[in-house]
Structure 1
Amino acid sequence: MPERPMPESRTSETRATTLVEGHPAGPPEESAPLLEVTGVTKTFGHGRRRLTALDGVDLRLGRGETLGLVGESGCGKSTLARVLLGLERPDAGTVRFDGTDPFALRGKDLLAWRRRVQMVFQDPFASLNARMSAADLIGEPWRTHRDVVPDAKAREKRVRELLALVGLRAGDAHRYPNEFSGGQRQRIGIARALALDPDLIVCDEPVSALDLSVQAQVLNVLSELRERLGVAYVFISHDLSVVRYISDRVTVMYLGKVIEHGATDDVFERPQHPYTAALMSAAPVLDASRASGDREIQLKGEIPSPFDIPSGCRFRTRCPRAEELCAVQAPPVVERGSHTALCHFPLEEGAART
């Protein structure tokens, strides 16, 4: 455990904090990933009326790495998060966590695995029980995993350490959620996720309910925790500026499919898929010098129903570059180094098709 609390500049919510463009340096590539998802498919419903939530999803996450997961509502991000947490079993494909299939585990082995994967929820106002103190909320996981912190005195000490780790005071342990601001509540949620010393935390829109300055403070807490503890994140968000700030790599989803993936700067500066470029052009740009009319892409129509996914390329009904080929043939994988996209007519010139 660290011996000192967060720096004051990170802990005071009255202090203005600004997101700095860019993102933390990621860990070196490892041959054995912490998390590897291959060909995962998940559908819901019965008979002919089935909703395809995930369709052949692949992703890879290294230890201590942050993977940003973006896409419009209904693209499958939350379903994928539930699969990663072991709450939904995929219909097809494999999930490997540190080389182990979590869906094959039972009993004590499954319980031990659940310690290693935790979650930070979207709404800090709804995810904390108003009748429980901060100490009880942070220590709630120990009710199930009793051997992690076995006695009451050790738990009190551990709660103080976790509060300091997320930039709160030891005296806050006996306060209740209604006595905290939104950003402070989310810090309690982060501390609760850390209580079992996980290897991976799934963050589902963790700052979307917070004011902009408070968002920055919570993101800085997450970044510093990654540096100090080596925890990895799957970070789900609609806010592209947030994703760019905190992520090492970005995965873009559309109607249950991964349509683009790559290093954060590559995806943001050189998007290959028209959908990704449209998302980038729709995002607010504070620096006018970075705005470019050449990158603007206007999407037409509405997102198709996941009950009736278009033939060929699922994005073709909204794509300004779509041609007849897109309706009859699934798009190929376009590769440019480790940056990949599914598109017949990618924006990036010179990309090799496979």
Structure 2
Amino acid sequence: MTDTSGIHVTETTATHPRGPAGSPPLLEVKGITKSFGHGRRRLTALDGVDVRLERGETLGLVGESGCGKSTLARVVLGLERPDSGTVRFNGTDPFTLKGKELLAWRRRVQMVFQDPFASLNARMSAADLIGEPWRTHRDIVPTAKDRERRVRELLSLVGLRESDAHRYPNEFSGGQRQRIGIARALALDPDLIVCDEPVSALDLSVQAQVLNVLSELRERLGVSYVFISHDLSVVKHVSDRVTVMYLGKVIEHGRTEDVFDRPLHPYTAALMSAAPTLDVSGRTRDEEIQLRGEIPSPFDIPSGCRFRTRCWKSEARCGDHAPLAVTREGAADTGPEAHEALCHFPLGIGTTGA
């Protein structure tokens, strides 16, 4: 698939079973709040966030810097304990686990980092980097012979040569380093991989290669992704569903085609209109939506609708009352297929502006 961004990404369909009817989703986050600071001076990073991820699915997480994406990722990874709300991974609350149970859970959730140059230890070979998780989870690959064999398998799985096992990070390109990072994430056979801007530091053509690797792995292994990115063209291609965040709150979510083609929230429409394009076909595009003002401080979030200070549709009620969720006509009313937004004045179907 190629779009106006110039990125060509192979389309794949996840074949991993979603479990029997009535089984819990792989990941379910409900009402999560998280703030930082002391006393009255507290930064609200997450405010009542709900997220759901099925097995074999990719959830795109988008929003401007400071919207809470990385904090949510840290909660999902078990690195930050939420102030309130619940996290369920295959029906289990990971924050109640201890000892061996917690260690066993941690292998099921792994991460691919943003910077392939900073996330790899320059003093370790590719084989050592990929096999580093086995130093903690010794029972996964118990012998040196097994580790050597598994490293070769993982290198091949991400499109590198077996002979690359003994090379060091400075001998690889940025795209190759990110492949090593992906192989390291796969070393423990996880169910979920959190990808935090995994291609933002790479050239455009290399981005496509890495994205294709991730898509192919999802099809072959059934792994699920939470994919964090500022690049909407990337999110559009790799995600089954999209969650849009603003100042610590989910303001729109739904199937990727619904959110991108028929955004409900003015903020989502503004993000879409501002996305860069290399389209030279001569077709006109909708006029870019200019947001007024700056993003408010997370220490002082506006009353009512938190987006109202920058929204061209804002009226008095937007400051007086927090908006309730609205559902796009024709979409599912509830569940993971629902297309919902928090807005007093949602945009019409097919509308990208006022």
Same fold (TM > 0.5): yes
Aligned to 1:19: 7
- RMSD of Structure 2 on Structure 1 (CA): 1.9
Q: Give, in angstroms, the shift of residue 332 of structure 1.
A: 1.2
Aligned to 2:3: none
Which residue, out of 290, 294, 313, partners 1:302? 294
Aligned to 2:335: none
Which residue, out of 259, 266, 287, partners 1:267? 259
2: CA distance, partners of 1:256 / 1:263: 21
Q: Give, in angstroms, the shift of residue 299 of structure 1.
A: 0.2
Q: Which amino acid aligns with 2:47?
A: D
| SS of residue in 2 equivalent to 1:317 | helix
Contact 1:249–1:261 (8 Å) recurs in 2: yes
2: CA distance, partners of 1:122 / 1:322: 36
Q: Give, in angstroms, the shift of residue 21 of structure 1.
A: 7.3
CA deviation profile, 1:235-269 (whole Å, cap 9, x unmatched):
00000000011000000000000000011111110
Q: Does 1:211 align with 2:211?
A: no
2: CA distance, partners of 1:22 / 1:335: 31
Contact 2:14–2:218 (8 Å) recurs in 1: no
Q: Give, in angstroms, the shift of residue 188 of structure 1.
A: 0.1
Following superposition of structure 1 onto structure 2, how do residues 231-270 of structure 1 map, counting pairs within 5 Å?
231-270=223-262
Which residue, out of 292, 298, 308, partners 2:285? 292
Q: Give, in angstroms, the shift of residue 25 of structure 1.
A: 3.9
Q: Does 1:346 align with 2:338?
A: no
1: CA distance, partners of 2:283 / 2:42: 43
Structure 1 pair 206–175 and aligned structure 2 pair: CA distance change class (3 A)? same
| SS of residue in 1 equivalent to 2:207 | helix
Q: Which amino acid aligns with 2:210?
A: V
**Percent identity for Structure 1 against Structure 2:** 80
Structure 1 pair 170–21 and aligned structure 2 pair: CA distance change class (3 A)? closer
Q: Give, in angstroms, the shift of residue 24 of structure 1.
A: 4.0
1: CA distance, partners of 2:283 / 2:79: 41
Q: Which amino acid aligns with 2:50?
A: D
| SS of residue in 1 equivalent to 2:310 | coil
How many residues of Structure 1 are paired with residues of Structure 2 in the alignment?
334
2: CA distance, partners of 1:21 / 1:143: 35
Q: What is the TM-score with the length of structure 2 in the denominator?
A: 0.91
Q: Give, in angstroms, the shift of residue 293 of structure 1.
A: 2.4
Q: Give, in angstroms, the shift of residue 323 of structure 1.
A: 0.3
1: CA distance, partners of 2:11 / 2:80: 31
Q: Does 1:177 align with 2:162?
A: no
1: CA distance, partners of 2:266 / 2:250: 13
Aligned to 2:97: 105
Structure 1 pair 275–350 and aligned structure 2 pair: CA distance change class (3 A)? closer
Structure 1 pair 146–89 and aligned structure 2 pair: CA distance change class (3 A)? same
Q: Does 1:222 align with 2:214?
A: yes
CA deviation profile, 1:38-67 (whole Å, cap 9, x unmatched):
000000000000000000000100001000
Q: Give, in angstroms, the shift of residue 309 of structure 1.
A: 0.1
Q: Give, in angstroms, the shift of residue 348 of structure 1.
A: 2.3
Aligned to 1:3: none
| SS of residue in 2 equivalent to 1:60 | strand
The list of structure 1 runs, each at least 4 consecutive aligned residues, that deviate by more than 6 angstroms after superposition, is 27-30
Q: Which amino acid aligns with 2:7?
A: L
Q: Give, in angstroms, the shift of residue 292 of structure 1.
A: 2.8
Contact 2:9–2:208 (8 Å) recurs in 1: no
Which residue, out of 128, 131, 143, partners 1:139? 131
2: CA distance, partners of 1:203 / 1:322: 34
Q: Does 1:162 align with 2:154?
A: yes
CA deviation profile, 1:165-189 (whole Å, cap 9, x unmatched):
0000000000000000000000000
Contact 2:263–2:349 (8 Å) recurs in 1: no
1: CA distance, partners of 2:226 / 2:269: 22
Q: Which amino acid aligns with 1:292?
A: R
Q: Give, in angstroms, the shift of residue 216 of structure 1.
A: 0.2
Contact 1:335–1:341 (8 Å) recurs in 2: yes
Structure 1 pair 335–181 and aligned structure 2 pair: CA distance change class (3 A)? same
Contact 1:247–1:264 (8 Å) recurs in 2: yes
Structure 1 pair 26–174 and aligned structure 2 pair: CA distance change class (3 A)? closer
Q: Which amino acid aligns with 1:101?
A: D
Contact 1:24–1:248 (8 Å) recurs in 2: no
Q: Does 1:196 align with 2:188?
A: yes
Q: Give, in angstroms, the shift of residue 286 of structure 1.
A: 2.9
Q: What is the TM-score with the length of structure 1 in the denominator?
A: 0.91
Structure 1 pair 181–285 and aligned structure 2 pair: CA distance change class (3 A)? same
Contact 2:29–2:88 (8 Å) recurs in 1: yes
